[in-house]
Structure 1
Amino acid sequence: METGIGFLALLLCLYLSWALLQVLCRGGWTSSPKNRRSAPPGPWPLPIVGNLLQLDSRPEKKFAELAKIYGPVMTLQLGCVRTVVISSAQAAREALQTHDLAFSGRTIPGTATAHSHDRLSVGWLPASSPTWRSLRRIMTLHVFAAKKLDSTRTLRRQILEDVVAGLRKSALSGFPVEIAETSFRAVCNFLSNVLLSTDLIKPNPEEEDSKDLISVMRSFIVELGKPNLADFFPFLKRIDANGRRRQAAVYYGQLLLMIDDLVNKRLQVREKPAGDLIARETDVLDSLLDIFEDKREETIGMEHIKVLIMDMFLASTDTISTTFEWAMAELLRHPDKLSRAQAELEQVSGRGNPIEESDIPRLPYLDAIIKETFRLHPTAPLLLPHKAEEETELCGFTVQKGAQVLINTWAICHDPSLWEDPGSFVPERFLGGPGPIGSIDIKGHNFELIPFGSGRRICPGLPLAMRMLPLMLGSMINCFDWKLPDGMKPREMNMEDVLGVTLRMAHPLRVVPFLCEPM
């Protein structure tokens, strides 16, 4: 008897807990019958956890499997968060082009709220806010505009020559180098010179300050990408149940202190009488401080400027270095593709030389390699999460206001109806053959391949990435021959990946550079 009463009490507690969660989740899956009928289809959710138990460490792959059952627009209940997953190029076009404004919101992860980052960052602010528009305008005009990038061409060349010089030393010593770290340093120093007129990372890889900075930046990026209970059960955000926000705040705080110090030193320099100032080029920080002091953008404060600088470092360095590593890994795994790329480079740039930016338009195979790398290893397989700002009709279904919207670029890039042999590395598919794939670009217009997103939320750093990637990749494979360490054969390479904010190699690529021999 007591056992029966205890069991009934347990059932009652479970029911009350579930009912409470419905209230806390604001009706997560208790919408009206009308809305349930018109919502995109999807697997039936369990009480409390919804469809979370159906996911694993690679949600983009699981979403792609479910899309084969429920279609390219489907609904999942991830804890308390109603989520619509888009898995086809056609549906992505309708969401990000036709309904760009309606889906321009952001679902804010708990770690992004550390130090109020979400209220200051162009990545998380609502696209409808004046502050967001001001920050995007600043990035477009003062950092990533074609004219601005053209003016920093000599600087990119100098950074590249520094990288080549360092690799030549490694080639003479015979020691392997870590590809992602090499490119991370190059991109970080280019940005730090453009933004702040200084090298943030010293040339010597063993200098402790440089190693610490790289470690902190990477740790913060990794922390942002870790699963967080509060992202599925928003009522847990305040208590930070698994400590994700607290840990992110530690790394974020260290980066803020570094930016604070650099900005404060610049403010002190600007306070000196004009006659005492040393002549130098105006950098982006000067432009930002001019905008702040002249009140040209009324919604922009000093905290926005500091966070904007940090955002540009974090987003650009991680995206470019990750893609560069994957491209090098695929070329080493496919020696025939590497030989073809080197032959093209020898014809255009001359074997053994860093390439010039003016060479890039005459290197179609190099361009195809970069596109194929973005396709096979999309940097952000689900992009950053969008949010429906209003109830919207999408592909015949109703997406409720407030729903999280995920664009599964991984599924689109591995769709066999779009790509022949989608699991293989085939740069030749982009060399202008019959059909639309041959002439595709990655600027957000061709939804078969949108590694940087599309619409008003497209990554503003796209122009920089598309200058840095071919410049670095072309120069690395033209100036050096590369071999895997310890006699490893190409097919023995570990190509496992791990998903965080970006899709990284699970095991960092380490290779040995050799001074190239003329072909």
Structure 2
Amino acid sequence: MANITIFNYSIHFPTSIFYPSILLCFFCFLLYLFKVIQLQGSNKKPKLPPLPPGPKPWPLVGNLPEMLINKPTYRWIHNLMHEMNKEIACICLGNVHVIVVTCPEIGRLFLRDHDVDFASRPICMTGDLISKGYSTTILQPFEDSWKDMRKIIRCHVLSQVKHKWFAGKRMEEADNLVRYVYTQCGGSDKTGLVNVRTAAQHYCGNVIRKMTFNKRYFGKEREDGGPGVAEEEHVNALFTILTYLFPFCVSDYVPWLRRFDLDGVEKITGEAIEIVEKYHNPIIEERIQQWKNGTKEEENDLLDVFINLKDDMGNPLLSEVKIKAQIIELMLATVDNPSNAFEWTLAEMLNQPEILGKAIEELDRVVGKDRLVQESDIPNLNYIKACARETFRLHPIAPFIVPHVSTSDKIVAGYFIPKGSRVLLSRIALGQNPKAWEEPTKYNPERHLKDDGSEVVLTEPDLRFISFSTGRRGCPGITLGTSMTIMLFARLLQGFSWSLPSNQSKIDLINADDLLLLAKPLVAMAKPRLPENLYPIN
């Protein structure tokens, strides 16, 4: 029995009833206390807005099962947002919130209004491999070391002074491009089949190789100016790396699984990097030694510039590892967009000959037929630039921009975006958003021409499509990218008449699944249209 005395009266409770009753009362008191504290806390802290809408996640793994089942992932994401009829969504992959944006207005909130809060990059397997532990510019998280590398690239690599310095090397490759296609034709009065993808990709590869290493060939030079085995292997490896850059692999969201390489991405990417390094590293190592022993005294290319950068104490500013990694990143940043844009543009022009005719008319009017187009002509080639803009809008090289990562909790467009979220702006959906564009799936360059006739540029700061990204992580190579793109377009359109092969009536405009290239490489008939003396032979 349990005895309790109240006001000198003793009350007797059976033990079997007393102790459970006390525990129940104590539990109720704790529950009441918890509710009071919770209520007080809610009065102090305003209720947070919801996350953006999205599929309901599974415990622990989030939406990883759906990601693995639905390949390619970018297509699943876009279909999901279309079904939800939303322009911003949150997809939980593991414990990572992936925020996908398809609306230019919301995109500007992330990359303009809240730019500083979303200027970092994710830690991921391929980014780590490519950048040698995040020692480069594009893939490095938002830290002081990134700011230092960004300053180096802006001031010493992609400055206006360096752009002018490399003008001669770019012109050499523009001439070589014309020579290569002319050789494929077999002469001034002949027509030949040209693999447009090969010509465009290797022009881009040649330009950045010439700027970086002062050479076009790693292996034996070809008489027709085309790529050799080494150059083909090099460019193919670069495109393989680009294919697997931020590839939605499991280990990027469940890091401890990286050791198992469940997707095979680490193996594929590692092998591609080894191929690139097979050609790069011997040149870099030999050049460093040449500067050390004094056998080289004059800067001729970007590699020399990197090697000779010094800190305040006169010591090398970049280690050998950083130089190697940064050169790979520069190669990756220059080979894809211009080459993809021209292949798609020519395919669209062959299906719509009136557009091709307008481009040729502009070139003949602005440049004429007695000289080859030069970079100085670019400001006056508004229709050519409008064609490039339209291709960037309708046929981007990749589904999303490089991910941005939030460095703090933020509220954007009325939604709560947790710290560490990965923000993906959709190149595909921004460019085809019906709120921004009339007839968004139609290829129409004239939509980019200005009523007052003022100059057309390739940049799009309002994010109605992505050519060069904006904000702190925006592309620093706008001038170089514009020059490469427009010279590729202008030289091949000015120098040759293009037509469909005899067995085709139309180009099938179907995407590949990976980098959104044409599913089949474009092969077209080319015939020289300028005086024979204008075609470089040697």
TM-score bin (small chain): 0.7 to 0.9
| 1:406 Cα offset (Å) | 0.8
Contact 1:345 1:478 in 2 (8 A): yes
Q: Separation in 2 of the partners of 1:384 and 1:239?
A: 25
Q: Separation in 1 of the partners of 2:481 and 2:227?
A: 27
Correspondence for 1:121? 136
- Write out aligned runs for 1:194-233 (5 A): 194-200=211-217, 202-203=221-222, 204-205=225-226, 207-224=228-245, 226-233=247-254
Correspondence for 1:503? 516
Structure 1 residues 189 and 206, CA gap change in structure 2 (3 angstroms) = closer
Find out whether 1:466 has 2:482 as its counterpart: yes
Q: Partner letter of residue 86 of structure 2?
A: G
| 1:214 Cα offset (Å) | 2.6
- Write out aligned runs for 1:133-212 (5 A): 133-172=147-186, 174-200=191-217, 202-203=221-222, 204-205=225-226, 207-212=228-233
Structure 2 SS opposite 1:111:
helix
Q: Partner letter of residue 178 of structure 1?
A: N
| 1:339 Cα offset (Å) | 0.4
Contact 1:56 1:62 in 2 (8 A): no
Correspondence for 2:105? 90
Unaligned runs of 5+ in 1: 1-33
Q: Separation in 2 of the partners of 1:329 and 1:462?
A: 25
Correspondence for 1:40? 52
| 1:231 Cα offset (Å) | 2.8
Find out whether 1:429 has 2:460 as its counterpart: no
Contact 1:352 1:478 in 2 (8 A): no
Correspondence for 2:35? none
Q: Separation in 1 of the partners of 2:258 and 2:331?
A: 27
Q: Partner letter of residue 508 of structure 1?
A: P
Contact 1:64 1:87 in 2 (8 A): no
Correspondence for 1:371? 389
Answer 1 or 2: which has greater helix percent: 1
Structure 2 SS opposite 1:135:
helix
Q: Could you tell me which of 359, 381, 385 is aligned with 1:341?
A: 359
Structure 1 residues 447 and 134, CA gap change in structure 2 (3 angstroms) = same
Correspondence for 1:107? 122
Q: Separation in 2 of the partners of 1:124 and 1:297?
A: 25
Per the normalisation by structure 1, the TM-score is 0.84
Cα offsets for 1:38-65 (capped at 9, x unmatched): 2122232345352752754262574366
Q: Separation in 2 of the partners of 1:297 and 1:446?
A: 42
Q: Separation in 2 of the partners of 1:506 and 1:241?
A: 27
Bigger drift between 35-44 and 117-126 goes to 35-44
Per the normalisation by structure 2, the TM-score is 0.81
Correspondence for 1:29? none
Structure 1 residues 51 and 303, CA gap change in structure 2 (3 angstroms) = closer
Structure 2 SS opposite 1:238:
helix
Find out whether 1:324 has 2:339 as its counterpart: no
| 1:225 Cα offset (Å) | 6.0
Unaligned runs of 5+ in 2: 1-45, 532-538
Structure 1 residues 444 and 295, CA gap change in structure 2 (3 angstroms) = farther
Bigger drift between 507-516 and 263-272 goes to 263-272
Contact 1:354 1:476 in 2 (8 A): no
Q: Could you tell me which of 380, 384, 387 is aligned with 2:405?
A: 387
Bigger drift between 56-65 and 349-358 goes to 56-65
Q: Separation in 2 of the partners of 1:225 and 1:207?
A: 30
Q: Separation in 2 of the partners of 1:448 and 1:377?
A: 13
Contact 2:131 2:325 in 1 (8 A): no
Q: Separation in 2 of the partners of 1:138 and 1:430?
A: 34
| 1:151 Cα offset (Å) | 2.4
* Identity among equivalent pairs (%): 24
Q: Separation in 1 of the partners of 2:315 and 2:245?
A: 29
